[in-house]
Structure 1
């Protein structure tokens, strides 16, 4: 494996899931001076492949497309604009994508797809992004990118779909294909690749070919047939942070495995002419319906992340049963933060598990008591006790979604409901309410306060009501700085038994 080039982010450690742990105003660059985001001179960078076609490596000095650039796109079906995004913009986009990487780990917003690599499971793609991130929405739907696409279309453009392909080290490439075969409802689109890391031949850059003017080429499930692909002249297009690659939905393209030690993340934004209609919501509704209930593969051999069978990634092997990433969270610095005035998050969880054991609880309830606050470790909302809380980060929902990768409802439901159980007990048990710690009183204010009588009845009717109340009482007891407990590793065999059920 080769070292990183061009500013790609190096992954720390070899654990596959740990590699996944790593909004501000969108800058309008129209009319501004354009800054380069890497140190190489533009023409030196453009010449790295030695095979870029005419005008594909030119540095942009004017926010408008030139007639020559439009002619290149019309002739070849793709166009590279060098250095059109500032380093500040790229950093903001990287931060936004990092948020979706964290969302994927806890089954959060967006649609996420994983692949198996030689280094273990990796996040391959996130999509359906703009409803969940204002910065990305502004960048994608207004300004530079959509204006350039509209200029090539000769009329205003509208977003059709958006995604980020991560291509982490060992991440698979794509077989020769045309995007048009996967895009329903409209027959012509333009896509834009916005690289967040260097996309080189070593890291799996795009290879493109002429042929967009030939319409749909012979294919099988979206993959161009081997005979036709062998006839095409494939040219690598290396791009770097700050560059933008535009390509026609009929342009044949492919990519190879990332052979470097760092990620090759890139946004892919697809647009159609506004006059054809706005189909984004319909696209994602259609995809969700088609993927629902499926096993996420093509014939069990390749990950299914598209309508086309062009992605060469391997299906993940039992991603929900490897507990190493979960265990590592309780061995990390987040677990050493103070949970409240007296104990750390790790100590708090261990004490709750000890109380559950002493109470004769079943294994699932013991696990729920141990892990009920894992959402705090994921969200990072453990603020100093004297700091005001401005919002509820809903750590219980985040934690339950995350734990659902490993365990069933017997564990996840008490975790999901333990905050609701506090609100219930405050409303129904005066002694409980009077004994709440200052930190619990503080958080109660942003969590909804005591339950109303109707909320109490609804909560009591839930299947997980009794176990949630038990975990809640362990939660409030587990704050003793002088209590001795066994270590986290002592509970790992119990967690492993639950994870295999």
Structure 2
């Protein structure tokens, strides 16, 4: 166990991410999907064809969803020797023909609050964020799996210079062009753990089946829970691209 933790720490230090195969069983994933489909009191987004694209605020909407969050927190606490709390959550459903998303960091953007003040994206709530992507379906090149690059290091003010600085975290074309992205192929139950400063993108789903993933983000518990504040600020922000600022 100690050697495994040290290996993961080394991978994360070098690349800003690592992949773990078969982290969750297929039976557990099936139970998660069932709870997601039945979940209520969530935030749902649909595309122009009325296909469900995303569900937010769902990590506590079922027994296994709660178990999932607890299992991930325990794993992160042990692996990174830090204490974590969930910061935000979402279920992404990329239906057949569903579009991908632009190359970007997570949380590196400005938003305008209700007092017309410019705020520093996720960095209003902390300075250390880890994403955990859980594959609910097989993720491949054909269905638009995650493409991930090594973490870019720097603080908010340094990294924002690499973005279009347009209210979304989209990278400038010249930054994307010199960034090497790796396609992350996943089987059901695999997870990817990566820093919010890892540039990432995905392409269109060219298959006839959905490509579903859960995408949870964790922050350090020393800052306290910012979960409800984040979603409240997002809802009230004056950015015109609310659906894009946290992809």
Q: 1:112 aligns with which of 36, 44, 54?
A: 44
1:267 aligned counterpart, secondary structure: strand
CA gap 1:195/1:121 in 2 versus in 1, 3 angstroms: same
Residue in 1 that maps onto 2:125 = 185
- 2:12: which partner in 1? 73
May I ask how many residue pairs the two structures share in their alignment? 227
Partners of 2:17 and 2:99 lie apart in 1 by 23
On the 8 A contact 1:180/1:187 being kept in 2, the answer is no
Structure 1 unaligned segments of length 5 or more: list them.
1-61, 101-107, 299-303, 311-501
Which one has the largest radius of gyration?
A: 1
Is there any run of 5+ residues in structure 2 with no aligned partner, and where? Answer: 109-120
**1:342-491 correspondence to structure 2 within 5 Å:** none
CA contact (8 A) 2:35 2:61 kept: no
Cα distance change on mapping 1:77 and 1:64 into 2, 3 Å:
same
Structure 2 equivalent of residue 464 of structure 1 = none
Alpha-carbon deviations, 1:209-233, whole Å to 9, x = none? 1133245251123101000110001
**Which residue of the other structure, out of 180, 184, 187, is the alignment partner of 1:233?**
180
> Does 1:219 pair with 2:163?
yes
Could you tell me which residue of structure 2 aligns to residue 59 of structure 1?
Answer: none
Per the alignment, residue 87 of structure 1 pairs with 26
Contact 2:5 2:79 in 1 (8 A): no
2: CA distance, partners of 1:64 / 1:170: 42
Q: CA RMSD in A?
A: 2.1
2 CA distance for matches of 1:242 and 1:162?
Answer: 17
1:408-428: CA deviation from partner (whole Å, max 9, x where unpaired): xxxxxxxxxxxxxxxxxxxxx
* 1:154 counterpart residue number: 81
Summarize the Cα distance change of 1:63–1:203 in structure 2 as closer, same or farther, 3 Å threshold.
Answer: farther
Q: Deviations over 1:70-116 (max 9, x none)?
A: 1011110111000111121111111112224xxxxxxx510111112
- Offset, 1:187: 1.7
- In 2 relative to 1, CA 87–288 (structure 1 residues): closer, same or farther, beyond 3 Å? same
2: distance between equivalents of 1:267 and 1:131?
13
**Which structure is higher in strand share?**
2
Cα shift readout 1:124-170 (whole Å, capped 9, x = no counterpart): 10001134333312321x12x11222234321111101110001111
1:171 matched to 2:98? The reply is yes
> CA–CA distance in 2 between the matches of 1:85 and 1:231?
35
User: What do the CA deviations read for 1:226-283 (whole angstroms, capped 9, x no partner)?
Assistant: 0011000111011111111101011111111111110010000110111122111111
Q: Which structure is higher in RCO with an 8 Å CA cutoff and minimum separation 6?
A: 2
Q: TM-score, normalized by length of structure 1? A: 0.43
- Aligned match of 2:145: 205
Asked whether the equivalents of residues 65 and 151 of structure 1 are also in contact (C-alpha less than 8 Å), the reply is no
* Aligned partner of 1:286 among 227, 233, 241: 233
Q: Residue 20 of structure 1 corresponds to which residue in structure 2?
A: none
Q: How many angstroms apart in 1 are the aligned matches of 2:104 and 2:78?
A: 25
